[in-house]
Chains A and B, each alone.
Chain A
Amino acid sequence: MTKYDDNTTSGSASSADHESLSVLMDGEANDLDIARALRGVAESDELRAYWRRQHVVRDLMAGQSGTAISVDVSEAVRTAIASEKRRYANPIISMAVAASVTVAVVLGGQQALLFNDNPINPVTAPGEIVQVPGTGAVQASFAESPVLQSRPVTARSSVPPVDLYSNRVSYNRLADERFESLLKVHNTTASAASITPMVSRSIDPKDSQ
């Protein structure tokens, strides 16, 4: 065995790891070489130092003796990138969850108000699964109202029942008031802008009933 045999390595990483880096720096690496090289540098500082030295040697052989041999910012950059990844990872997940919950609540609430004329008393009990109105799949039918299913619950209700009927009435009253307000603004603006001496009249929904 000579000093140039394959067993000649300069550290704890395997000879195959070093060879993969050697091939990678020549642009001749296959997928296995790349995978081995990436795993190796993640696990072995010695392998990272080897890769660095190999490029210093290449620069010197190419007459690029201007390379700053003593500068090593790789560890600082690696740490900075890792902490940046962690910082950005958590808020994204939190925001995604919050957005999903918000959308579910808004859509569920809207469907409950639109499709449900019968107030339902949602109850909770250990082990029970209750179909919340408006959160189920809605069939693409314009002729029929979806049937909301609620399982009979034998356990005593632990949450006070929500009066969805009164919620719907309140919602409708607010919508009516908003409509009347906008109608008055529209009539005033239209009268002022019109070149004909026409007096606009708003129809109060209460009058027509």
Chain B
Amino acid sequence: MGSGTLALSDGDDKLVKRAKKGDSRAFDLLVLKYQGRVAQLISRYLNNAAEVEDVTQEAFIKAYRALPNFRGDSAFYTWLYRIAANAAKNHLVALGRRPTSDMALDDSEVFDVPGRLKDHQSPDEVIMGQELEVLISRTIEELPVELRAALTLREFEGLSYEEIADVLECPIGTVRSRIFRAREAIDVKVAQRIQGNES
């Protein structure tokens, strides 16, 4: 991976390769990774939360069945989003409804514009997202400097482990460990916040 941007598809190729061979655990990891984004895409077509969840589930099952035909010409998530968009449109057709003009998305809208889906969140999710953003920023600021540097170079600068090792003048194993420990520190806070919200 080159420097500059963090690719959404980092690590996907290895999981997709295994999932294509029938390893459902690998596909499970892809579901866990993309379900939030896919659900948010589908919620642009459907307003009912239960329908969004059903169609999200249906989209992933369709993707699993179609996985042997995925040739890797595009990124996995691009292919997945297209399946999800089609599933949502088919659901509307089955219900005798048509997407309104503001629902009609072209590929550039769906796949390329960061943050575009924000307007279609429920108020609870907007609040939750904002609170988590603040919590994450604060936790990063509190991290020891060597952990913060490694995580920042990875997440915001998009550097590879090797590049970070060069910048920080330390072994790659140390980079790996520092990034992991930084994530653990953030996860403790985020898990508490999400569980508190659910209870």
Contact = CB atoms under 8 A, between A and B. Distances in A.
Interface residues of B, number: 72
B129 A78 contact: no
B89 interface: no
Q: For the complex, would chain B's binding face be called helix, strand, loop or mixed by DSSP majority?
A: helix
A38 interface: yes
A78 to B, nearest CB: 5
Contacts of B179: 22, 26
Interface stretch (A2-10, A99-107, A110-118, A141-149): A2-10
Contacts of A67: 36-37, 40, 117, 129
B27 A53 contact: no
Contacts of A63: 114-115
B28 interface: yes
B35 A72 contact: yes
Contacts of A53: 187, 190-191, 194
A186 B29 CA distance: 67
A140 interface: no
Interface stretch (A79-87, A127-135, A175-183, A188-196): A79-87
Contacts of B194: 53, 69
B183 A55 contact: no
10 smallest A-B Cβ distances: which pairs? Answer: A66-B117, A27-B10, A67-B36, A71-B39, A68-B39, A65-B129, A27-B11, A22-B180, A73-B57, A66-B118
B190 A57 contact: yes
Contact of A6 (B12, B118, B177): B177
Nearest to A51: B32
Most interface-central of A38, A55, A67 (chain B CB within 10 A) = A67
B29 A37 contact: yes
Interface string A41-66: 11000001111111111111111111
A153 interface: no
Interface string B20-45: 00011111110111011101100100
Contacts of B118: 65-66
B116 interface: yes
A10 B43 contact: no
B144 A4 contact: yes
Given A9-B184, A19-B180, A26 B36 contact: no
